[in-house]
Homo-oligomer: A and B are copies of this chain.
Amino acid sequence: MTKTPAARRGRPRTFDRDKALQSAMNVFWQHGFDGTSMSQLVAAMQINSPSIYAAFGSKEDLFREAVEQYVASDGSSTMQALTADDDVRNALRSMLANAIQTFTRHDEPRGCLIVLGARHLGPISDPVRTFLRDQRERIRVLLAERLLKAKQKGELAPEADEKALAACVMTFLNGISIETVDGTSQPTLLAAAELFVDRLLPR
């Protein structure tokens, strides 16, 4: 017993609900929930705000639907990579590669909607954003210098790539910030960090 067409009464929609949701998802993906204003959504979806509210409920409801759509499309392909290959290493590699490509697919990279969606993000020219990025770059340089020194002292294999290692540590360090705010317990993070260092710099 499939659902009947239901023969809806009243004036029909003049826009495609799925396409409108897709447009909304892209705006949310780029700017986060708080960083996205109704006027931006109105412009991107090409619908006036009362129609948005009528069709989706509220800004928050719209966001939730957008996230579900994201998970079902971009997100699921990344997760499929995890189970597609029989070999764990290949599976992990292709999953991470898939994620990186998804996050950088657009003109202005957006990262992961699930990870950054609750966060505002101003324009790429935002002086605050640029300022902070410079601060982070300094840390990356310090890490590479420290690793280079270790390599010269013979603590690391001569063929070790200190810049790639620094990039690894930097990524891990950035991830820690997300996790702490997420509420991941301190012991869990400390254990993960121990494991990370032990594996990254084998004796």
Interface size on A, residues (CB 8 A): 94
The answer to whether the Cβ of A40 comes within 8 Å of any Cβ in the partner chain is no
Residues of B within 8 A of A128 (CB): 33, 60, 63, 117-118
Number of copies of chain A assembled together: 2
- In the complex with contacts A120-B120, A186-B100, A179-B168 CB distance below 8 A: no
Q: Is the CB of A171 within 8 A of B180?
A: no
Q: Is the CB of B109 within 8 A of A180?
A: yes
Q: Is the interface of A mostly helix, strand, loop or mixed?
A: helix
Q: Is the CB of A176 within 8 A of B119?
A: no
The answer to whether the Cβ of A199 comes within 8 Å of any Cβ in the partner chain is yes
Residues of B within 8 A of A174 (CB): 112, 115, 174-175, 178-179
Residues of B within 8 A of A167 (CB): 184, 188-189, 191-192
The answer to whether the Cβ of A164 comes within 8 Å of any Cβ in the partner chain is yes
Instruction: State the A residues within 8 Å of B (CB).
Output: 32-35, 60, 63-64, 67, 71, 79, 82-83, 87-89, 91-93, 96-97, 99-101, 103-104, 109-112, 114-122, 124, 126-129, 131-133, 135-136, 139, 142-143, 146-147, 150, 155-156, 161, 164-165, 167-184, 186, 188-203
